[in-house]
Structure 1
Amino acid sequence: MIMHYVTIEERFTRLRHRMTDDGVDLLVFGPGTYVEWLLGFHPYPDERLSLLLVGRQQAMFVMPALNAADTQERSDLPLVTWTDAQGPAYALQTALAATCTLNAPLCVGLDEAMRTDFALTVLDRLPGANVVMARDVAGTVRMVKDQEEYRLLKENAAIADRAMLHAMATIRPGMTEAEVAEGITSAFVAEGARIKFAIVAAGQNGALPHHHTGAAVLSSGDAIVIDIGARRDGYCSDITRMAVLDHKPQGYADIHAIVEAAVQAALKAARPGVPASSVDRAAREVIEHAGYGQYFVHRTGHGLGMEGHEGPFITETSETILEAGMVFSIEPGIYLPGRFGIRLEEIVFLREDGPEILSCLPRTPSVIATVNPSITHNY
């Protein structure tokens, strides 16, 4: 697969091709990652109506006047401004007239992440419009990453690797989950990354896939799920690894081996041209055949890019056909209530010949010896 850096003009061209294919006349974005993906920045977000309208021929901002100068320094797109005294109604009507045909039936794609009042204000001006979600139009274009996006995701994966190694090097019995998470946050901040989440789930808390990291104290014999992610230069990281303090709890090795086999099966199934559901099925069958199907309670993966969760979603029912350039997680897990949980997560970049794992860390559990410090751990 030959990748290259995609310019702003190319992104608009790809987006408009998709709009034409899908019969979408207008896309409406609030300040956020869609605008950042298209233009490299997004306007200041607050309660004032601020939109990017993308029609098949013209794109235009509706912009509070106090933010106009900053936006004009960053973009050549035309904008229609409004002041607090005027209100946004005339500016919005002017921009809509410039970007779509108001007297014709319209299909409008709305940014699913923008403020509800923004969306309702637009729809009030477009009575009878057929509404779709931007994720089904722009989101599908964003799923295929270019060379620069790959570079940024690879860099973020390396930062996450180092934050994970920091956690493994400092974790000890007597610490709280929150203290481990604070150390992870500091490791990300030291590299200029903004923490998105740090799930540290010790012992039976690990059986809760989205456990809220808290005051639980780590003890010898705990299996610990560590799921972390941050964002630098507009792109995200996400990785999950397992740590064990001193010794593995009863049954841990067998469950870890099953989850590892599920990861490997999903990696083998992930190829361009196959439905995302087949990757989920490959992982799920391994766990089901081992008798733990009821304890695998979530999808196998999600896309990663400017958002921590974006398309493609690797689910049992997904009809998305995988393409080279897509980036997504493979993260099966088994969660045993009252005992422990095990999740192993890789972020992969899909190439023509299969997935490239972005992390460099092994998936073997880090057995952290604290009773006899001379014993080294797996990392």
Structure 2
Amino acid sequence: MSRTQHRLSAIRAAMAKQGVGLVALGPGAHMHWVLDWHPHPDERLTILAIGQDSAHFIVPSVNATQAEAHSGMPLLTWRDEDGPRGALLALKEVIGDVSAVVLDETMRTDFSLPILDVFTGAKPAFADGLVGDLRMLKDHAELDALRTSAAVADRAMQAGLNALRPGLTELQAAQVIRDQFAEQGAAIAFTLCASGPNGAFPHHSTGDRVLQDDDAVMFDIGAGYGGYPSDMTRMAILGDGPEGYAEIHDIVERAWQAAADAARPGVAAHVVDDAARQVITDAGYGEYFVHRTGHGMGLEVHEPPYLTSSSETVLREGMVFSIEPGIYIPGRFGIRLEDIVILRAEGVEVLSSLPRQVHRSNRKV
């Protein structure tokens, strides 16, 4: 059985359990997970339509040859001058009336509404509760791809850390990482460099601030490699670093360890967030931890499960997610330590081999 057939079978089993008659996926990560491919998303309605006993690709006629070659599925085509309604009505003839339809939450609204207009009376739900739930558990090939991508990011991060010195701008420091990603054939996603007081902004936009003696510097980087992303954050200090840095770095590291220790199959995701947050709160910095503890990662950099204080998602072996507590002191600096982990029966496997300890650059202006 091919991977696509295996995943279609898993989707149909979930459909039967949830009483769903149709799953409609647009060009994006859900479709890619099923087919290992998705067409370029544009305004022309394109749907992978999965029923209990069939699967069809609804596609504009101008893209039919490509869709047939990549999907291997029967096509329901439509022409620009006719619009997609005829193809949707043909789908309904095959599938019949359904009581519930699952729609890709990431696809265009003008794809969703025509589906609901044809399948009148069907109760809609989003695909994150069905396809998304299946995607949270990674297979061996996905885990291997994520490990490889993490190793690429390690090398890029190390190059950036080694290049740090006073006098560089944030953009110049980030460019070292971008160049290293490019040399390895990775598709660059983001290269955040936040220096000095800019580190207090968790999602700082890398700019032209010049790195100075005793700055703390945050790198948060990621790129796609082999179809799967990376995401990691590391810290550096120039010279002695800002006053109080070592204490806060230690608190964040202890928060990371507490979260990792709490991550076990069968526990709710909020337990992991609670563990990290408690360490930081007990140290007196609770108000400065301003985001969730982690997010899932697979085909997308951010996907379920989300490790928030309110998440009741039960963690399962084979899930992949970040652990990234942080403390952000306005006007001074910020510290975030982020690693992607695989959840195993006995705990977490860290993908990066690069230590979370602070990188020290003693080069002066």
Scaled to the shorter chain, the TM-score interval is over 0.9
Corresponding residue to 1:112 among 98, 105, 108: 105
1:6 deviates by: 7.3
Give the corresponding residue for 2:96. 101
Q: Indicate yes or no: 2:70 matched with 1:74.
A: yes
Corresponding residue to 2:363 among 367, 370, 374: 370
Structure 2 distance, partners of 1:23, 1:297, is 39
Give the corresponding residue for 1:57. 53
* TM-score, reference length from structure 1: 0.93
Structure 1 distance, partners of 2:131, 2:2, is 15
| Runs of 4 or more above 6 Å deviation | none
Give secondary structure in 2 for the equivalent of 1:19. helix
Moved more, 307-316 or 21-30: 21-30
Give the corresponding residue for 1:375. none
Give the corresponding residue for 1:46. 42
Q: Indicate yes or no: 2:251 matched with 1:255.
A: no
Structure 1 distance, partners of 2:172, 2:112, is 41
Alignment of 1:5-24 (within 5 A): 7-24=3-20
2:166 and 2:364 in contact (8 A); partners too: no
Amino acid at match of 2:124: V
Structure 2 distance, partners of 1:324, 1:217, is 44
* TM-score, reference length from structure 2: 0.97
Give the corresponding residue for 1:213. 206
Moved more, 23-32 or 141-150: 23-32
Q: Structure 1: which 5+ runs fail to align?
A: 373-379
Q: 1:96 to 1:244 in 2, by over 3 A?
A: farther
Amino acid at match of 1:19: M
Give the corresponding residue for 1:33. 29
Q: Indicate yes or no: 2:141 matched with 1:151.
A: no
Structure 2 distance, partners of 1:50, 1:6, is 23
Offset from partner CA, 1:116-144 (integer Å, 9 cap, x none): 21122222223332211111110000000
Give the corresponding residue for 1:181. 174
1:44 and 1:67 in contact (8 A); partners too: no
1:364 deviates by: 0.5
Give the corresponding residue for 1:342. 335
Moved more, 9-18 or 255-264: 9-18
Amino acid at match of 1:157: A
1:301 deviates by: 0.2
Give secondary structure in 2 for the equivalent of 1:150. helix
Structure 2 distance, partners of 1:313, 1:351, is 17
Amino acid at match of 1:23: G
1:269 and 1:278 in contact (8 A); partners too: yes
Structure 2 distance, partners of 1:126, 1:75, is 24
Structure 2 distance, partners of 1:92, 1:126, is 9
Amino acid at match of 2:202: P
Alignment of 1:241-320 (within 5 A): 241-320=234-313
Please tell me the root mean square deviation across aligned C-alpha atoms, in Å. Answer: 1.4
Amino acid at match of 1:238: D
1:61 and 1:95 in contact (8 A); partners too: no
Give secondary structure in 1 for the equivalent of 2:222. strand
1:316 deviates by: 0.8
Structure 2 distance, partners of 1:44, 1:91, is 20
Identical positions, percent: 50
Aligned length: 365
Structure 2 distance, partners of 1:308, 1:6, is 26
Structure 1 distance, partners of 2:127, 2:255, is 33
Amino acid at match of 1:303: G
Q: Structure 2: which 5+ runs fail to align?
A: none
Structure 2 distance, partners of 1:189, 1:371, is 29
Alignment of 1:225-240 (within 5 A): 225-240=218-233
Give secondary structure in 2 for the equivalent of 1:132. strand
